[in-house]
Homo-oligomer: A and B are copies of this chain.
Amino acid sequence: MDLLTAARPRERKLEPTVTLHVYDTTLRDGAQQEGISLSVTDKLAIAPLLDELGVGFIEGGWPGAVPKDTDFFARAARELTLKNAVLAAFGATRKVGVATDKDPQVRALLDSQAPVVTLVAKSDIRHVERALKTDGAENLAMIRDTVAFLVGEGRRVFVDAEHFFDGYRYDPDYATNAALAAFDAGAEVVCLCDTNGGMLPNWVSDIVSELRERTGEGILGMHAHNDSGCAVANTLAALDAGAQHFQGTVNGYGERTGNVDLITTVANLEIKYDRRVLRGGRLDDATRIAHAISEITNISPFARQPYVGASAFAHKAGLHASAIKVDADLYQHTDPTKVGNDMRMLVSDMAGRASIELKGKELGFDLAGQTEVLTRITNRVKSAEQQGYTYEAADASFDLVLRDEVSGGLPEYFTVESWRTIVENYGSTGDEAIAEATVKLHAGGERIIVTAEGNGPVNALDQALRHAVEKIYPEIAKFELIDFKVRILDQEQGTDAITRVLIETTDGVSSWFTVGIGPNILEASWEALIDSAVYGLIHAGVKPVA
């Protein structure tokens, strides 16, 4: 019996006949997130990824209000060819007391050439009176006039009913009338916005069911924010209650706690509800697409993100590892390949031979049945972790351990004679200190001495090591240290404690993590830097020079 098609969930499944709009607003509402600022080129790079994923609608921005959004639509018309999605332009209803066809903001929506126009409209009477500073009747007229005008111009019009849920709970009739005004004037969708994000699933469910009764056939939508941690559940609750359209953003980008995570919601619908909602159905590419988009937004991915996060299918508990090997489906809620993710075993202090074997396979070492090697590696890892190493976040260092044990030794690219760092600060704390490092090593039969300055001692060491090795192995020039983490392990003893350093290095294409420990940060960093260099050279296919 398949868990995903058990009787209970099927009862909850949306009617397969209902078409469902997957409406992406990463480029508009997602860009409201603290720390995100998208250029026109960024948007032109993200849109094709959304199209590949298979969303139905891509909201590109607010032409007329935001100049670069006006440019985006102009360039999109020339440069973008979308296989699955339709572009939507976001805008507002006409201004108070202004004729629709005279409102420049509404004109700009037409000029954008977007086949869909999504109008934000007020549906909470308090916002009408206190923010818009007009009366309920004029707001309803603004909705009717603007929708009718744009429909008359041949556009598909969706209406985002702002603060709908708060408004409905304060004055159900006014909120309902705002929705009815939009439908009456020809709106195809009225999307109910939990603008402040504070709803809970039961509340959403009750309100959408009630509204459904009062609005008849028009398509209702859900626009959720995650302020109470329920954005995904609120969206599912709205769809269960009869909504047929939802808006979300990739990686849950958005103002405050963010918008609903579009991929999590889609994955729940396709995998748990057994509903195909993506056009072209590229859910199995979701992880790559989510990460590609985070490269463009330059927001580091959240490891715990459902379905696509780096940790989403990572298992630590060593006691389960052996069982997971046999019966993976008993230990994960779905098959990670359905969203283009992978199961990962974390080598932790609970590491058993089974998890080492799995981890080895992941890194391309087939250790199946090699009991003796496995035992040796397991013991080495255990004692290393007792000393303070952690391999769960340092795949490259773990790769070197495996390689060393499996092939009896690592390539000797260089041998270090000595290293030294000096940091001095003359004068008050305010001034900048000077940091320099000297590295002496032997490589390719030469004795190499390099002194480098750096922004701090670790950076100076990194520079000196790189330049010294570069003389014999130029490949190392393209490695760059991109992340550096320090943890003091036994805090009772403060700076007398063991220091653990994790560094991430990239060659511009991929990146790898190494770990080092020591009584002080420089020794720990040095060890991690050496691992990083050796791993990088091995994987660049470089042979040691005698």
Give A residues with C-beta under 8 Å from B.
1, 3, 6, 8-9, 12, 32-35, 37, 39, 41-42, 45, 66, 124, 126-127, 130-131, 163, 166, 169-170, 196-198, 200-203, 206-207, 226-234, 236-237, 240, 252, 255-258, 261, 264-265, 267-268, 272, 298, 300, 302-307, 309-317, 320, 323, 326-327, 330-334, 346, 348-350, 390, 392-393, 415-429, 432-433, 435, 454-459, 462, 480-497, 499, 503-504, 518-523, 526-527, 530
Report the Cα distance A316→B416, complex, angstroms: 49
B306 lies within 8 A of A390 (CB): no
A201 lies within 8 A of B313 (CB): no
Contact of A523 among B12, B226, B429 (CB under 8 A): B429
B236 lies within 8 A of A330 (CB): no
Report the Cα distance A489→B68, complex, angstroms: 14
Nearest residue in B to A131 (C-beta to C-beta)?
B323
Report the Cα distance A530→B202, complex, angstroms: 53
Closest 8 CB pairs of A and B: A456-B520, A198-B333, A233-B233, A459-B495, A229-B232, A420-B424, A486-B486, A481-B494
Q: If A227-B306, A303-B34 touch, does A255 touch B427 (CB 8 Å cutoff)? A: no
Report the Cα distance A482→B491, complex, angstroms: 7
Q: If A230-B233, A433-B520 touch, does A503 touch B492 (CB 8 Å cutoff)? A: no
Contact of A8 among B207, B314, B432, B490 (CB under 8 A): B207
Q: Which residues of B contact A265 (CB under 8 A)?
A: 229
Contact of A304 among B226, B240, B300, B455 (CB under 8 A): B226
Q: Is the interface of A mostly helix, strand, loop or mixed?
A: mixed
Report the Cα distance A349→B491, complex, angstroms: 27
Q: If A233-B230, A326-B130, A422-B421 touch, does A484 touch B489 (CB 8 Å cutoff)? A: no
Report the Cα distance A372→B523, complex, angstroms: 48
29 inter-chain pairs at a CB distance below 8 angstroms, sorted by A residue, are A12-B200, A32-B316, A34-B311, A37-B390, A41-B491, A130-B326, A163-B330, A196-B332, A202-B240, A227-B307, A227-B333, A228-B333, A229-B265, A229-B306, A230-B268, A257-B306, A298-B487, A418-B426, A419-B424, A420-B422, A421-B424, A422-B422, A455-B496, A456-B523, A458-B495, A458-B520, A459-B494, A484-B491, A485-B488
Nearest residue in B to A482 (C-beta to C-beta)?
B494
Report the Cα distance A236→B202, complex, angstroms: 10
Q: Which residues of B contact A417 (CB under 8 A)?
A: 426-427
A429 lies within 8 A of B416 (CB): yes
A425 lies within 8 A of B200 (CB): no
Report the Cα distance A267→B240, complex, angstroms: 26
Contact of A3 among B166, B233, B333, B522 (CB under 8 A): B166
A200 lies within 8 A of B456 (CB): no
B457 lies within 8 A of A457 (CB): yes
